[in-house]
Structure 1
Amino acid sequence: MSLFLGIDTSNYTTSTALYDTATGVMTQQKRLLPVKSGQKGLRQSDAVYLHLKQLPELLEALLADISEPVAAVGVSVRPRDAEGSYMPCFEAGHAVARAVAAALRVPVYFFSHQAGHIAAALFSADRLDLLERPFVAFHLSGGTTEAVLCRPGAGSPEIELLHTSLDLKAGQAVDRVGLLLGLPFPAGPALEALSHQSKRTFTVRPSMKDGDCSLSGIENQCAAMRARGEPDADTARYCICAIAAALHGMTRAVRERFPDLPLLYAGGVMSNSDIRAEFTEQYGALFARPGFSSDNAAGIAVLAMRKVEQA
C-alpha cells in the first residue's frame, strides 16, 4: 500500500494531502479560513467551526479518484512538541482523522503542526534524508518564530528549542503591518508584492538577546513610518528587512553552536522570495517551495508514511 493521508487544521488553513509513495506525487487540497476585511484573525471557536465545515469538501475532492486503499492517516493535534502545547483548532482535524481511520480500518498517527512544517519543507527540497541525522530548522509563522535542533526520532523528529522570539512572532508582525496598510489577511503575499515597489534599502539592527529576537519594534516602526506619510511600499519593505535582520541574528547564533549542521527554513513567512534568495546565497540554506511553506498537510502525510515504515 502506498497512499498516506495527512490532515492539518491550523490557523488559518484547512489542509489535506495524499502522498503516493509509489509515484512520489503529493496531492493537496487546502483552503484558507475566511477572515472579514479589517479583522486581525478569528476566535478559536470560529476556526474550529470553519475547519469542520471545510474538511468534508476537501477530503471528498482529494479522495475522489483514488484507485487503491489508504494505508494510514496522519494528523496534527498540537502546535509544537512541547508540554502544554495546545490550540482548539487542531481538535477539528483530530476528530475527523480518527473517524476516517476508523472507517478505513487503518492506523492513525498524531504529530505536531511544527513537525509537519519541517517534514513538508524537507519533502519539497528533496531532502527527507535529513530526518536520519541532526539538522537545525527555523519555523517562522503567525504563531511561531523559533530555531530548533532536530534529531532522528520515531517517525517524527525529536525537536529541541534553541532560540525564539521573546514577544511578537514574525507572522504576527507581517499581518499587523499588513492590516495597518489595508492589505488582506493573511498579509504575506500582498506585503511582499507591495515591498517590491520600493526602491529603498534598509539596514536594520535587530533586537537580540543571547540568540533570541524581539520583533515588537517592527510594528511600532512601521506605524511611525505611516504616521510620517512615508510610502506604503517603503513601510512594507522595512517590515521584511527587519524580519530578515532578526533571522540573520538567530542564524548566526545557531552557526556559532552548530557550524556544520544543515539549515532548513520553514513556515509561511519563509515563502518570501527575497528572504529565500538572501539566505540561500549566504548560508546555503534549504527552503520549502512556496506551496509547502505555508500551512499544509503534506508533511503530516510524510510523517505517517515514516511511522508505517518504522513499525
Structure 2
Amino acid sequence: MARFLGIDTSCYTTSAAVYDSSGKILGEERIVLSVKQGSRGLSQSNMVFQHTKNLPPILQKLSPLLQDIDGIGVSSFPRRRADSYMPAFLVGKGAAYNLSYALHVPVYEFSHQENHAMAAMAKAPALWGKPFYMIHMSGGTMDVLSASWKGEVMDIRTLMDSKDITAGQFIDRVGVSLGLPFPCGRELEKLALSGHGTYHIPRSSVKGAFSFSGPETKVQRDIRTGTYRKEDIAEGVLEHIGKALDKELRTIPFKEGMPFIAVGGVLANRYLRKRLDGILRSLHLVPYFASPEVSSDNATGNAFGAFMRHKGSR
C-alpha cells in the first residue's frame, strides 16, 4: 500500500498528514501557533520560529506511518503566482526536501490555496482534472475562484476578492475586542448560538467585491458603548457575512451545473456552511465542502495531491 506525506506550514498552523492509495487519511497532526491574548496575529519571523519548533514533534508522532512513503506534498507558497511569497512556507518546503533526499522520494509542490482545494477533493477524487469554482474563506483570504487544469496542475483565476479586510479578519478583530482568544472563529460561533437576533449591521455600499471594513468600524464602535450583548454582536457578524455572500455571489455569471468547492477556516462555521450551501444550490451549482475538521489549515490536501500527482506520473 503506497503512502504519501503532506506538510503545510501556514500562518497559524503547523500540520502534517499521511494518505494512502486506498483513499484514506491514515494519520493527521497539527499544532496551532501561539498568539498572545489580545493580539491580532504574528510576525513572519515568529511564525517561522514556531513552525521550526513544531514540525519535528509532529513528524515524530506520524513516524510509524512514514515507512516506505512514495512521495511528499508540501505547500511552498500562498498562491501559484510569481509574486506569491511567505517565509512561513519555507519551513515546510525545507523539511519536505530534506526528507526526500534521505528517503529518495519525489516532492510535489503545491500552493496553500491548492492544498485547501485538495482537502475537499480528497473526499471527491473524481473532481481531479475537472474545472470547478471555489470560494476560499480564511483569516487572510476572501476569494471566489475559477479553476481549470494545465496537465496535473491547477490554473486558478480570481473572480472576486475582498476590497479591504476579509470575513476572517472581521471575525477575528471583533472577537479580540470581545475578549476571545485568537483566532476567534470557534469561540465567536459558540457565542452566536445564544444570540437573540437583535443586532443588525448595515450592508456595505461597495459593489463587485467583498468589503467588511465599514461594518467592522460600526461593530467596534458598538462594542465600546456596551449597549449590546456579546452574543448578539457575534450573531450579527455571522448574519452580516451570510448576507454579503448572498449579495455578491449572485452578481457572478457562474455556469450552471458546475462543481463549487468551499474551503477555509471560516467555513468550519456551521452557520456559514449552511447559508452558503443554500446560496450555491439556488444558483444551480453543485457544492463540495471540506469537512469542518479539515476546513481550517491542515496538510491532508497536500498528502492527497501527492498521491494523485504520483499516480499521474506513472
- Other-structure match for 2:167: 170
- Other-structure match for 2:80: 81
Counterpart AA for 1:115: E
- Structure 1 residue 23, shift from structure 2 partner: 5.2
Structure 2 residue 222 is matched with structure 1 residue 225 = yes
Deviates more, 1:211-220 or 1:180-189: 211-220
Counterpart AA for 1:69: D
Residue deviations 1:269-293, cap 9 Å, x none? 0111001112223423221111110
Residues 227 and 8 of structure 1: is their aligned pair in 2 closer, same or farther, counting only changes over 3 Å? same
CA distance in 1 between counterparts of 2:153 and 2:115 reads 8
- Structure 1 residue 253, shift from structure 2 partner: 2.5
- Other-structure match for 1:304: 306
- Structure 1 residue 64, shift from structure 2 partner: 2.4
Deviates more, 1:266-275 or 1:242-251: 242-251
Matched residue SS, 1:34: coil
Deviates more, 1:282-291 or 1:228-237: 282-291
Q: Is the 8 A contact 1:137 1:148 kept in 2?
A: yes
- Other-structure match for 2:284: none
- Other-structure match for 2:212: 215
Matched residue SS, 1:213: coil
**Percent pairwise identity:** 37
- Structure 1 residue 204, shift from structure 2 partner: 5.4
Residues 15 and 156 of structure 1: is their aligned pair in 2 closer, same or farther, counting only changes over 3 Å? farther
CA distance in 1 between counterparts of 2:96 and 2:23 reads 24
- Structure 1 residue 148, shift from structure 2 partner: 0.5
Structure 2 residue 7 is matched with structure 1 residue 3 = no
CA distance in 1 between counterparts of 2:118 and 2:45 reads 28
Q: RMSD across aligned C-alpha pairs, in angstroms?
A: 1.7
Counterpart AA for 1:242: H
Residues 203 and 226 of structure 1: is their aligned pair in 2 closer, same or farther, counting only changes over 3 Å? closer
Deviates more, 1:175-184 or 1:131-140: 131-140
Deviates more, 1:257-266 or 1:188-197: 257-266
- Other-structure match for 2:18: 18
Structure 2 residue 32 is matched with structure 1 residue 35 = no
Q: Is the 8 A contact 2:129 2:152 kept in 1?
A: no
Counterpart AA for 2:251: A
Counterpart AA for 1:53: K
CA distance in 1 between counterparts of 2:73 and 2:5 reads 6
Matched residue SS, 2:304: helix
Write out aligned runs for 1:272-283 (5 A). Answer: 272-283=269-280
Deviates more, 1:215-224 or 1:47-56: 215-224
Matched residue SS, 2:261: strand
Residues 118 and 206 of structure 1: is their aligned pair in 2 closer, same or farther, counting only changes over 3 Å? farther
- Other-structure match for 2:290: 288
Q: Is the 8 A contact 1:155 1:303 kept in 2?
A: no
Q: Is the 8 A contact 1:208 1:249 kept in 2?
A: no
Counterpart AA for 1:306: M
Q: Is the 8 A contact 1:211 1:249 kept in 2?
A: no
- Other-structure match for 1:152: 149
Give the TM-score, by structure 1 length: 0.93
Q: Is the 8 A contact 1:4 1:302 kept in 2?
A: yes
Residues 208 and 104 of structure 1: is their aligned pair in 2 closer, same or farther, counting only changes over 3 Å? farther
Q: Which ranges of 4 or more aligned residues in structure 1 deviate by more than 6 Å?
A: none
CA distance in 2 between counterparts of 1:294 and 1:23 reads 21
Counterpart AA for 1:245: K
CA distance in 2 between counterparts of 1:205 and 1:140 reads 21
- Structure 1 residue 211, shift from structure 2 partner: 3.0
Give the TM-score, by structure 2 length: 0.92
What number of residue pairs does the alignment pair up? 307
Unaligned runs of 5+ in 2: 282-286
Q: Is the 8 A contact 2:16 2:300 kept in 1?
A: yes
Residues 306 and 186 of structure 1: is their aligned pair in 2 closer, same or farther, counting only changes over 3 Å? same
CA distance in 1 between counterparts of 2:185 and 2:254 reads 31
Deviates more, 1:101-110 or 1:129-138: 129-138
